Amino acid sequence: MSEPFVINGVQIGPGETRDIDIFVAKQYDFTDLDMPVRVIRGREDGPRLFVCAAIHGDEVIGVEIIRRLISHKYLRKLKGTLIAVPIVNVFGFNNLTRYLPDRRDLNRSFPGSPNGSLAARLAHIFVEEIMGNATHGIDIHTGSRHRTNLPQVRACLQDKYITALAKEFDVPVILDADIIDGSLREVSVKHNVPLLVFEAGEALRYDEVAIRSGLSGILAVMRRLEMIPPVTAKTKRVDPIIAKDRYWIRADQSGILIIKKRLGSIVNEGDVLGRISDPLGNHNIEIRAERSGLIIGYSQLPLVNRGDAIFHIATFAKQSSVEKSLTDFDDKFDYEER
Ligand SMILES: [Zn+2]
């Protein structure tokens, strides 16, 4: 006898797929704003995995990853339940912004409350209806506006089980990320729902490598959870390296930024990564790597203010270890060919 599965008052039976619009609020014009959810329940019980995107409304890559995921052929043999939430911050998505209309950041508003701000209410709905129904979660993010990230997973690596799931992703690097107050990750720990954060690409842009890498990683995690059948053909895998640490390089001075090292470059201490110039080229300030590592994120905007974060660099216990995972990543997704 299967357990009942109820979301937003809708019961979903074994083998059923349902699209459910969860009411969030009315807009100024009194039309409803709903959070769209697809629930795909396999015939057999198993893990209940939620995959969500656009908690930051302008981080659209995850929307496309989920769009491809829910029509994937492997789901025909699904065991357990997939809860797909392509757009959590529906307000931000419709307005091309990270935030809610009151400028609040949804990923600082968890667990929320039914009587708080709009962000708190939306967070509360997500925790009650989505996380409350799940055993595992994957949350998809991108860099913020004008910033792009190399595909990477961030998770709580003190937890061996979460680390093993994170390693299923075909990404070059995994980061042990501190838990931020009010984030979905913080609430996932309280709810005992193992959560992985996949980060790739830039806000408001599609990036095919980021999309394919994310989709492939989610399917690999589902395989590991035995929600979908194992692959029979031999497929290329990437063995991600856990970063020891990471740091940001900030602009010492405002000006025009010229990037010399691209995303995914391995850099050595002292390497010139770019320079800041003035419009007439009279001044050229070099930006150098403070420590050896891998560029996992950088600014795409060629204009910087003093103090702006320009390069995000992950460091490793053994620098050479990440070279192989980068090569494998390139082989699998043609990263260099972009
Ligand atoms: Zn985000």
Q: How far is the CA of 208 from the centre of ligand 1 (A)?
A: 18
Q: What is the dihedral of CA 287, 154, 173, 203, to 10 degrees?
A: -60
Return residue ranges of the chain for CATH 3.40.630.10: 5-224
Summarised one tens digit per residue, pLDDT across range 176-203 is 988 999 999 999 999 999 999 999 999 9
What's the average model confidence in pLDDT over 290-297?
A: 97
What's the average model confidence in pLDDT over 296-324?
A: 95
Q: How far is the CA of 226 from the centre of ligand 1 (A)?
A: 28
What SS3 class is residue 84? strand
What's the average model confidence in pLDDT over 88-117?
A: 96
pLDDT at 336 over 90: no
What SS3 class is residue 289? coil
Per-residue pLDDT at 310: 97
Per-residue pLDDT at 80: 98
Summarised one tens digit per residue, pLDDT across range 26-50 is 999 999 999 999 999 999 999 999 9
Q: How far is the CA of 260 from the centre of ligand 1 (A)?
A: 26
Where are the strands (E) in the chain, listed by range? 5-7, 10-12, 17-26, 32-41, 44-53, 79-85, 136-141, 147-155, 173-176, 195-202, 241-242, 245-250, 255-259, 266-267, 272-277, 284-288, 293-299, 303-304, 309-315
Q: How far is the CA of 64 from the centre of ligand 1 (A)?
A: 15
Per-residue pLDDT at 297: 98
Q: How far is the CA of 142 from the centre of ligand 1 (A)?
A: 6
Q: How far is the CA of 34 from the centre of ligand 1 (A)?
A: 20
- Cβ pair 42, 227 in contact under 8 A: yes
CATH topology of domain 245-315: OB fold (Dihydrolipoamide Acetyltransferase, E2P) (2.40.50)
Summarised one tens digit per residue, pLDDT across range 249-282 is 999 999 999 999 999 999 999 999 999 999 999 9
Q: How far is the CA of 7 from the centre of ligand 1 (A)?
A: 25
What SS3 class is residue 288? strand
Class of domain 5-224: alpha beta
Q: How far is the CA of 284 from the centre of ligand 1 (A)?
A: 33
Per-residue pLDDT at 335: 74
Measuring CA to CA, which residue among 56, 61, 59, 169 is closest to residue 108?
56
Q: How far is the CA of 107 from the centre of ligand 1 (A)?
A: 8
Which structure tokens are listed for 316?
A: 């490793």
Write the single-letter amino acid at 224.
Answer: R
What's the average model confidence in pLDDT over 100-129?
A: 97
Summarised one tens digit per residue, pLDDT across range 206-248 is 999 999 999 999 999 999 999 999 987 888 889 999 999 999 9
Q: How far is the CA of 56 from the centre of ligand 1 (A)?
A: 5
Task: Enter the pTM of the model.
Answer: 0.96
What's the average model confidence in pLDDT over 18-30?
A: 97
Measuring CA to CA, which residue among 259, 283, 263 is closest to residue 272?
259
Per-residue pLDDT at 316: 96
Q: What is the mean pLDDT of the chain?
A: 95
Q: How far is the CA of 144 from the centre of ligand 1 (A)?
A: 7
Q: How far is the CA of 143 from the centre of ligand 1 (A)?
A: 7
Return residue ranges of the chain for CATH 2.40.50.100: 245-315
Per-residue pLDDT at 334: 84
User: Distance (Å, rounded) from C-alpha 36 to C-alpha 21?
Assistant: 5
Query: Rounded to the nearest 5 degrees, what angle is found at the Cα of 90, between the Cα atoms of 218 and 11?
Result: 65
Per-residue pLDDT at 1: 64
